[in-house]
């Protein structure tokens, strides 16, 4: 994830249930405003449904539900971060996108065994910024096991 030889990472920073999270910018395809999502029956709870993005049907998940966080109301700042996971575009609903940020590797501490579990293997660490802490996610690892599940609603929508 770190750029070779530079000792820093470039991240897209977003809010989720009152906390700041960062994901590697190279996994982010684009950031869009909330759009109409078509709900798909029998999809996993965290799957909001599918949406049409310039002619492509992509699954949309709510990261708050995926991580077991409190689900808030959609606001004018809510966004869909479209990430690329194993060649599959996936829309991820977040409360707000804050900034693109470069962080030096020295500012990142590994996630402590006290705060992680076997289910939180996607936490890369905690970045210490001047005014806040930033939770670093490996979005590919957080969503990779769901890609096959997410493709099922997409196939259902295409067949309809």
Per the structure, the complete domain to which residue 26 belongs is given by: 8-159
Tokens, residue 160: 């309809």
Nearest to 44, CA basis, from 65, 71, 74, 64: 65
Position 144 in a domain: yes
- pLDDT tens-digit readout, 101-125: 999 988 888 776 545 444 556 787 8
In a domain, 1, yes or no: no
pLDDT at 1: 47
Q: Residue 99: how many CB atoms within 10 A of its CB?
A: 10
* Alpha carbon distance 143, 90 (integer Å): 9
What is the structure's pLDDT at 118?
Answer: 44
Tell whether the model's pLDDT for residue 158 goes beyond 50.
yes
Looking up residue 148, the CATH number of its domain turns out to be 2.40.50.180
As a whole number of angstroms, the distance between CA 111 and CA 66 comes to 19
Judged against a pLDDT cut of 60, whether residue 62 lies above it is answered with yes
> Is residue 67 included in any domain, yes or no?
yes
The pLDDT of residue 149 is 53
- Determine the average pLDDT of the residues in 41-59: 92
Considering only 81-85, 106-110, 142-146, which range has the smallest mean pLDDT? 142-146
Q: What is the pLDDT of residues 90-103, one digit of tens each?
A: 999 999 999 999 99
Q: Which residues neighbour 43 within 8 Å (Cβ) at sequence distance 6 or greater? A: 49, 152, 153
Q: Specify the number of domains making up the chain.
A: 1
């Amino acid at each position: 994830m770190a750029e070779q030889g530079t000792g820093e990472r470039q991240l897209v920073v977003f809010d989720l249930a009152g906390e700041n999270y960062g994901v590697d910018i190279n996994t982010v395809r684009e950031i869009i405003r909330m759009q109409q999502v078509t709900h798909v029956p029998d999809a996993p709870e965290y799957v909001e449904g599918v949406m049409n993005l310039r002619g492509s049907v992509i699954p949309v998940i709510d990261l708050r539900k995926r991580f077991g966080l409190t689900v808030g109301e959609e606001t004018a700042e809510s966004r869909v971060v479209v990430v690329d996971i194993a060649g599959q575009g996936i829309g991820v609903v977040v409360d707000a996108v804050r900034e693109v940020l470069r962080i030096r590797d020295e500012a990142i501490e590994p996630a402590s065994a006290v705060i992680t579990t076997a289910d939180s293997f996607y936490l890369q660490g905690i970045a210490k910024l001047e005014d806040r802490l930033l939770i670093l996610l490996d979005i590919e690892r957080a969503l990779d096991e769901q890609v096959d599940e997410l493709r099922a609603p997409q196939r259902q929508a295409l067949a309809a």
